Amino acid sequence: MSSFADRMIGAARLDGAIYEEVEADTTATTQAMAVVVMASVAAGVGALWLGGITGLVRGAVVALLGWLLWAAIVYLVGTRLLPEPQTKSNVGELLRTTGFAATPGLLRVLGVIPIVGGLVSLVALVWMLAAMVIAVKHALDYTRIERAIGVCLIGWIAYLIVSALFGGLAWLPA
């Protein structure tokens, strides 16, 4: 079994074996939550000039709620709307894999750097989305990446609608 740091590095490298490992490790949910919190705090630090300490704390709470909502939506879409014959999953598996998919979000701490901070944050966001697709592919036992992309796209739209209905929880998953 990989260490917490090795799991984060593997998740950032989009290593499918790491996503399979955390999917199967029911004790890794707390680790996944820690990744989400660290990534959201990094984003908050990177944007301190926007919201200060209150924004940082609010961002961490919203990120955790958003992560829970995102995993539930992806679970429903992936297992009910677009399953493959071998798809077997539960919300816990999606919480673990998508939590580790937030690892590239640690780079958002660099958002405080003038001029390049915004670009680094954008790169981190795209990297997180790629990691999310890999996480979904492995959590839902998909054979094709296109299906995982479809689930993420449908899930993203549903997430935006639900979060808008509940006062705009967040525009981006942790």
Confidence band of 170 (pLDDT split at 50, 70, 90): very low
Q: Dig out the tokens for 169 from the structure.
A: 């929880």
Exposed e or buried b per residue across 16-27, where buried means at least 16 C-beta atoms within 10 angstroms of its C-beta: eebbebbbebee
**Does 45 map to a domain?**
yes
- For residue 31, CA distances in Å to 45, 98, 108, 128, 162 come to 21, 11, 19, 17, 26
In a domain, 66, yes or no: yes
173, part of any domain: no
Distance from chain centroid for Cα 110: 19
In this structure, is residue 172 part of a structural domain? no
The tally of domains found in the chain comes to: 1
Mean pLDDT of 154-170: 75
Question: Does 124 fall in a domain?
Answer: yes
pTM metric for this prediction: 0.88
For residue 140, tell me if it sits in a domain.
Answer: yes
Residue 25 is predicted with a pLDDT of 97
Structural domain contains residue 31: yes
Which residue did the predictor score with more confidence, 167 or 121? 121
Could you tell me the residue range of the domain that residue 12 belongs to? 4-165
HEC sequence for 42-82: HHHHHCHHHHHHHHHHHHHHHHHHHHHHHHHHHHHHHHHHC
pLDDT digits (tens, 9 = 90+) for 27-65: 999 999 999 999 988 888 877 777 678 777 777 777 778
- Quick check: is 170 in a domain? no
